[in-house]
Structures are given as C-alpha cells and as structure tokens.
Amino acid sequence: MTINHGIQAVSSVYANAPVAQAARKMPTAKARENGDEFVVSNEAKSFSSMLEELRSMDEVREDKVAAVTQQIASGSYSVSSENVAASLLNARF
C-alpha cells in the first residue's frame, strides 16, 4: 500500500493557490501605511540572549572530565544503578 501516492500533485495545487501566492508577495505600500510592525517581546529578547550565552559556552566541561577521569583511574568512580535506570527510562519515554 502506497500512502504518499499523489502528494506532489496535491502540493502543486496548494503551491498555485491564490492564498499561497498572496503569502509570497512583499508587503505593499498600503500595508505599510496601515501601521504593520514587528515587535519582539521581552521574553523573546531574554530567550535570545540566553541562547547566545549557551552557544558561546564550551561544549565540554574540562573540569568535570578531568575529575571523572581521575576517579576512573583510581578505581573510586561509582554510579548508582537507580540513577542509571532512571536516566534510561527518562531518555526512552
């Protein structure tokens, strides 16, 4: 059974629809006269700044890696089986 049969035909109809064509047009002078504007909320600005901070951070926390490496080398590294199981369940579901 083919589910996606004819999807291109349907999408071509929507691509040629008047609404789709109107959406692709640039705003007219009349639309600009009506006072259309774009306003970014404070929450969006805050999210953007936090996102930039995250992007500028190192992906690897060298201090944590060094500490775990040292624990593994000395044989003192231990992991709780409950934490491992909980992490696996949270990642799966």
How far apart are the C-alpha atoms of 46 and 51, rounded to whole Å? 9
Q: Tell me what the mean pLDDT of segment 35-47 comes to.
A: 86
4-40 residue pLDDT tens: 555 555 555 555 555 545 555 556 666 566 777 888 8
Report field, pTM of the whole predicted structure over 0.85: no
More confident residue, 42 or 1: 42
Contact 38/32 with Cβ under 8 angstroms?
no
Q: Over the chain, what is the mean pLDDT?
A: 77
Q: What is the pLDDT of residue 8?
A: 58
Contact 68/77 with Cβ under 8 angstroms?
yes
How far apart are the C-alpha atoms of 83 and 56, rounded to whole Å? 30
